[in-house]
Amino acid sequence: EFAIVQSAVTSLDQVNELVARVFAAIRAPFDCMGHHLTTDASIGIALAPEHGTALDQVLKNADMAMYAAKSAGRRTYRFFEPEMDAKIRERRQLESDLRHAIAQGRRDGGLEVYYQPCLSLKDDRITGCEALVRWRHPARGMVSPA
């Protein structure tokens, strides 16, 4: 990861032009010891003072925007949006709740085991099964593995 600071920005067009130049430079194929290599990037953008005035806050917000770009399928860029921070906080809370559920175990933590048969594609016979753990959160109900 690296950061680029663009100063004296007067329009979003300037930011978009910089992003286009960065993508063009990064995506240009190059030769490395006889191997044809290409690279790519996901870019997160935070603007000051809209997305923070302290450097660490602007960098944190740009980082959140970068992860949003990665989750959007990579090869793209995203501007920071305040909802991103709320999503991160919600995810951290969910992770904390899951750690607590695991520590509590199957009975008290809401973890449930379901068995799913594995079928042979050749003759549709059951060849075994897999155990799947599902989590019934006390407030959210069943939490999707996704």
What are the pLDDT digits (tens) for 90-131? 888 999 999 999 988 766 778 999 999 999 999 999 999 999
- Burial grade of 49 (CB within 10 A; 0-12, 13-18, 19 or more): exposed
Q: Please state the separation of Cα 98 from the chain's center in Å.
A: 18
| Residues carrying CATH 3.30.70.270, the chain | 12-80
Beta strands of 3-47 (E only): which ranges?
30-32, 35-37, 43-45
pLDDT of residue 107: 66
Give pLDDT tens digits for 28-80: 999 999 999 999 999 999 999 999 999 999 999 999 999 999 988 878 999 99
Residue 141 falls in which region: left (phi positive, over 0), alpha (psi -120 to 50) or beta? left
Q: Kindly report the number of other CB atoms within 10 A of residue 89's CB atom.
A: 10
Q: Is the peptide bond before 117 cis (omega within 30 degrees of 0)?
A: no
pLDDT of residue 20: 95
CATH of 12-80, one of 3.30.1330.10, 3.30.70.270, 3.40.50.880, 3.40.50.620: 3.30.70.270
> In angstroms, what CA-CA distances link 117 with 130, 142, 143?
6, 21, 22
Q: Please state the separation of Cα 17 from the chain's center in Å.
A: 25
Cβ neighbors of 24 (< 8 A, separation 6 or more) are: none
HSE-up of residue 85 (Cα within 13 Å, Cβ side): 12
Helix (H) or strand (E) holding 79: strand 77-79
Three-point CA angle 84, 91, 19, nearest 5°: 30
User: What global pTM score does this model have?
Assistant: 0.64
